Amino acid sequence: MFGLETFSYDDEGYRDCSVTGLRIHKSAEDMVKLFGLTAIVALLIGGIFAIFVALTRWELVGLLAPADFYTFLSIHAWNLLIFWMIFMEIAVLYVGGPYILGRRLSLPRVAKAGYALMLGGAVLINVAIWLTKQPNQAPLLTSYAPLPSSPWFYLGVVVFLTGALVAALPFLATIWHEKRENPGQTLPLVAFGAFITSIVAAEAIVGGLITYVPTLLWRVGVLAHIDAAWYRQMYWIVGHGSQQINLLAMISVWYFMTHVVGGAEVASEKVSRSAFVLYLFFINMGAAHHLMSDPGVSAAWRVWNTSYAAYGAVIASMIHAFAIPAGLEIGRRKRGEGGGTFGWLWSAPWKDPGFAATILSIILFGFLGGITGVMMGQMQLNMTWHNTLATVGHFHATVATGTTLAFMGLGYYVLRLVFGREWIARPIATIQPYLYGGAMGVTSLMMMYLGILYGIPRRHPSVMDIPGTEFSFAAARPLFVIFGVMALLSILGGALFVVVAVGTLLGGDRYGGSLPVERPTTVADGGDHDDTAHHLLSMRGTFILTSVFLGVFVVMWALNWYLLSQLWQVG
Amino acid sequence: MKSPIESPEGDWWNETVNRRETIWLGLSGVWAVTLFGWMAGWMQFGEQNQVGETLKLSTADYREKVNAYKQGAGDLDGALVPAGDDVYIGAMRYAFDGLPAVLETGREYVFHLGTYDVQHGFSVRQEDTLSKQLSLQMLPGYEWKVPMQFDEPGTYHVVCNEFCGTGHRTMHATFEVQESVPDVSGGSGSGESDGTGGSDAAYDGWFTGDARGGAAGNWNGSAVDETGANEVTVTVGPGGEYVYDPAAVRVSPGTTVTFEWASPTHNVLVESAPDDWSGHEPIESEGFSYQHTFESEGVYTYYCQPHLALGMKGVVEVV
Amino acid sequence: MPETGESTDQASEPWPQQLLESPWLLAGAALLYFTLSYIVWGLIDLMSVKPG
């Protein structure tokens, strides 16, 4: 497909990847390319609109008129939080299923139908938002009823969500057939992770349909009334759930990439798989985070759901936070790639953008995104975070420095292993993850400070100049300067990825098959496993790193509660 | 070799787990319990818990509650002084009804939060310490009662931080917290002006900021006289401005007034009338027109709901 | 196809491993749990809100 790849298939449509050892069928590969490239187009659109949003919130520039701000913000949000993510995640499912299992993609025509619906819905949503005029309002991401948006917008959402569900079916069918044909076999860890991702996604998407079908009916006058509290509770199943798809897909990608590029192995199948199951049950409860400062739902419901069932899902995150670097540590120790406590880390291929992006994603997601997510999900702390710019900082840390960076890393290897092309402009490719991750990390931090320490509201184009009053948030101007500059650098970092990706596709040399590590699988080695049991290999480097992480977590958490305790009495 | 892209063989459940990984699992469990226990415990020993009764009621009913509260409240230099411990706030596009207000330090109030139209945010901060801030959600169809007590005097600024339309960024209000506030009994505050009775040219201050909503931008103190004309036109939102033109018009009984919309997002709601005129509630855009024949003598006061806070008000006086 | 291990006789696997190898059972249980804990409980809360 696209005529840009350098590999060819045998008569049955298979090819063997000499690097990963995977047996890949054309039916899956065509779809991975289609969904993946569409995702990058969405990334590009969302990134362009990011320029306008950042330069408006940095009021020294104040690029957009206030009325336009909400439209541009909506397009930025939908293309990056939803379209870039979900198109890429369908591609990740098709890799996690058929590629890993060496199977054809089941129901390929259903995959194409799903793509058509997703594309149609995405176009409809973009156009409906762009053409918003009174009495409709820009939907932002959340389209909170009863503030009305264009009916075409709601229709577009229903079409897109349906398409995503349809596109997930071929993955589920592939798993179904695999289990039937090989009943005694365990799915490989990455395939298991992809399966969990697909169920979390299905849950989120069905929640979205439960929300948007009635909302569409309300908007066109079939339903007379829509309850704001019900809308919020249902909306956030897809609102937050769609981002939990990111989390699951990202973690699956972390296992995959640390293995392929870094030589990681699985530290403990039992522990990692149990963590995935904790996610399966509890991660979507996080939708409740958005209802902490709401009327209606009881305190007990809020406390139980926001805690992911007494933090069951946080345990899962902490497990993966250990297991993934631990896998890298033992894998590299086995290969003689590192002595001492951190030799395995220093010797790692930091100049490989696939590796760098993956590791930066792990670090930034954990320290910036994960910690802040838990904090503002604590019911009472939420009062100081809710609807401030700090929440925006949180989700840029998770979605941008976390998932987007991980998907960029994967993208670099899709270019090599799926399209068979070597990266152009290697020096740019090498620094790109650092530029994007670093700049976006600082941008996110600035937004968090602005929100928590200054109470700057989110979704607001003119906090320095509020009509009708002298009061403003002028004290925060210096931080906004840092924010503005860093946001522009982040966008540049993102643009460089697109440039390298497109340039590689169109003009990259044939990829020669070199990898930073010795081939990580033992396909041709005949399985002579003089293998060291994993529990005997040292994980002390990882333990130190995760302990630092836990220390930071505890300190930030305590500081937040201290700040809250200084607030006036509530309740 | 245990690759994440290959199937593990045999019984992998019973493979030994690395000692440090096991310790980490224990630490994670302890941390999870701590997080949960602290949050649940704060409900008992902490002083900041956004927990309070919720009531379900229509936006119109909530507006009436806020009005009744305002009528019973006292006045201190244009700010409401609550008669009791309840403080009612009604958010709408684009103002906070019930503010400004003056509160006393050390007194536990019950804040009633609700809206008249769409979702809004109640985001409060201390003027001198912006980091002392909180945000709560306000929903149409619900009244949320949240107790609050302020120990530090000063000015507290409220902004809306839930996108509610084009005027969202203009939503701002304040309340003062003072060491002591004069007691108020009975109503002497700026409740609704009833607007009936006589053709007082000032219409009981309807066009000023003393009445509900803001001051009308185009009120010059006297009504346009169109008595004797059968048909009169009032332009709604000329040039996009938040006014009716003319603001006040005097007509004879049986006159048909045609309201012609010249810009979007306006309506005509009745504040008070000598008969059961109900105005035109649906929001309309330019090009729309609505007619009503005014029969009964008296003063009809009306306003545009989205722009009440900006002073979009009118009067038809039938003499 | 990548080299995979022999299929294990399922009966000889410990039950937690069998459970982790039953994706559809896990998925169904998780969906049910979420429906009850988040959706149903929350809706009960909303429907119990007293009229004001």
Contact status of B44 with chain A (Cβ, < 8 Å)? no
Choose among A261, A508, A467, A223: nearest CA to A361. A261
Omega cis (within 30) before A135 = yes
Q: Can you name the residues that pair with B101 across neighbouring β-strands?
A: B80, B175
| Separation between Cα atoms, residue A428 and residue B4, nearest integer Å | 30
Give B250's strand partners: B225, B317
B86 shares contact with chain C (CB less than 8 Å): no
Q: Which helix (H) or strand (E) holds A442?
A: helix A426-454
Q: What value does the mean pLDDT take over residues A304-329?
A: 95
Domain membership of residue A12 (yes or no) is: no
User: pLDDT by residue (tens digit) across B103-153?
Assistant: 999 999 999 999 999 999 999 999 999 999 999 999 999 999 999 999 999
Using a CB–CB cutoff of 8 Å, tell me whether A294 touches chain B.
yes
Q: Is residue A9 included in any domain, yes or no?
A: no
Residue A199: CATH number of its domain: 1.20.210.10
Q: Report the SS3 class of residue A159.
A: helix
Q: Is the dihedral of CA A178, A180, A186, A192 positive or negative?
A: positive
- Mean pLDDT value across residues A232-250: 95
Q: What is the mean pLDDT of chain B?
A: 89
Mean pLDDT value of segment A333-340: 84
Tokens coding B247: 């603001």
- The per-residue pLDDT for range B167-215, each reduced to its tens digit, is 899 899 999 999 988 876 554 444 443 333 333 347 888 998 778 778 8
Question: Mean of the pLDDT values across residues B280-287?
Answer: 84
pLDDT score for C8: 53
Under an 8 A CB cutoff, do C46 and A309 touch?
A: no
Would A22 be classed as within a structural domain? no
Per the document, the length of chain B is: 319
- Given a cut of 60, whether residue B12 has pLDDT beyond it is yes
Query: In three state form, how does the secondary structure of C20-43 look?
Result: HCCHHHHHHHHHHHHHHHHHHHHH
Q: Which residues of A touch B157 (CB under 8 A)?
A: 471
Exposure letters A51-68 (e unless 16+ CB within 10 A, then b) = bbbbbbbbbeebbbebee
Q: What does the angle CA A36 – CA A38 – CA A39 come to, to the nearest 5 degrees?
A: 65
- Which element (helix H / strand E) includes A258? helix A228-262
Q: Please state, in angstroms and rounded to a whole number, the distance separating the CA atoms of residues B94 and B96.
A: 7
Query: The domain B54-178: what is its CATH number?
Result: 2.60.40.420
B248-251/B224-225 β-pairing: parallel
Residue type, position B71, single letter? Q
What are the two backbone dihedrals, phi and then psi, of residue B81, each rounded to the nearest 5 degrees?
Answer: -115, 115
The distance of C14 to chain A (nearest Cα, Å) reads: 12
The two structure tokens encoding residue A320 = 């993966």
Q: What is the pTM of this model?
A: 0.86
Q: Do C50 and B5 touch (CB under 8 A)?
A: no
User: Considering chain A, what percentage of its residues have pLDDT values greater than 70?
Assistant: 97
Residues 6+ apart with CB under 8 A from A489: A435, A439
Residues of chain C with Cβ-Cβ distance to A23 below 8 Å are: 1-2
The model's confidence at residue C9, banded by pLDDT at 50, 70 and 90, is: low
Confidence class for position C6, pLDDT limits 50, 70, 90: very low
Q: Per-residue pLDDT averaged across A440-461, rounded?
A: 96
A22/B33 CB distance under 8 A: no
Over the stretch B269-282, which tens digit does the pLDDT of each residue have?
999 998 889 999 88
Q: Which of residues 294-313 of B touch A (CB under 8 A)?
A: none
Domain of A490?
Answer: 32-515+537-565
CA angle B235, B240, B246 (to 5 degrees): 30
Over residues A153-169, mean pLDDT: 98
Residue C30: count other Cβ atoms within 10 Å of its Cβ: 21
pLDDT at residue A36, rounded to an integer: 93
Kindly state the helix (H) or strand (E) to which residue A36 belongs, with its residue range. helix A26-57
Under an 8 A CB cutoff, do C52 and B61 touch?
A: yes
- In this prediction the ipTM stands at 0.93
Residue A417 is predicted with a pLDDT of 92
Higher pLDDT, B229 or A503: A503
Q: Residue A164 pLDDT > 70, yes or no?
A: yes
Residue A530 binned pLDDT confidence (cut-offs 50, 70, 90)? low
Total count of residues recorded for chain A: 571
Q: Is the peptide bond before B94 cis (omega within 30 degrees of 0)?
A: yes
Q: How far apart are CA A452 and CA A444, in angstroms?
A: 12
Residue A524: its pLDDT value, please?
A: 31
Task: Answer yes or no: is A219 within a domain.
Answer: yes
* 22-51 of C, contacting B, C-beta below 8 A: 49-51
SS3 of chain A: helix, strand, coil, percent, to 5: 70, 0, 25
Residue A46 has pLDDT above 50, yes or no: yes
At B1, is the pLDDT very low, low, confident or very high (cuts 50, 70, 90)? Answer: low
Question: Where do the CATH 2.60.40.420 domains begin and end in chain B?
Answer: 54-178, 203-318
Domain count within chain A = 1
Cβ contact C38–A237 (<8 Å): yes
Contact A348, A359 (CB under 8 A): yes
The mean pLDDT of A297-304, rounded to a whole number, is: 96
Tokens 């790639």 locate to A337
Pick B139's closest partner by Cβ from A295, A565, A568: A295
Q: Is the pLDDT of residue A531 over 70?
A: no
Q: Round to whole Å and give the CA distance between B51 and B138.
A: 14
pLDDT in tens, A363-386: 999 999 999 999 999 999 999 999
Contact between A184 and C8 using a beta-carbon 8 Å cutoff = yes
Q: Which two tokens stand for residue A265?
A: 């192995």
Contact list, B57 vs chain C (CB under 8 Å)? 51-52
Q: Which 3 state secondary structure label does DSSP give A298?
A: coil
- The answer, for B5 touching chain C at a CB cutoff of 8 Å, is yes
- Whether the Cβ atoms of residue A309 and residue A303 lie closer than 8 Å to each other: no
Nearest to C20 among A182, A277, A523 (CB): A277
State mean pLDDT over C10-18: 85
Please, which residues have CB within 8 angstroms of residue A530's CB and are 6 or more apart in sequence? Answer: none
Would you call A571 an interface residue with chain B, using a CB distance cutoff of 8 Å? yes
Distance from CA of C48 to the nearest CA of B (A): 9
Q: Is B203-318 assigned to CATH 2.60.40.420? A: yes
Strands (E), B8-106: 54-56, 74-76, 79-81, 86-92, 95-97, 101-104
Task: Specify if A511 maps to a domain.
Answer: yes
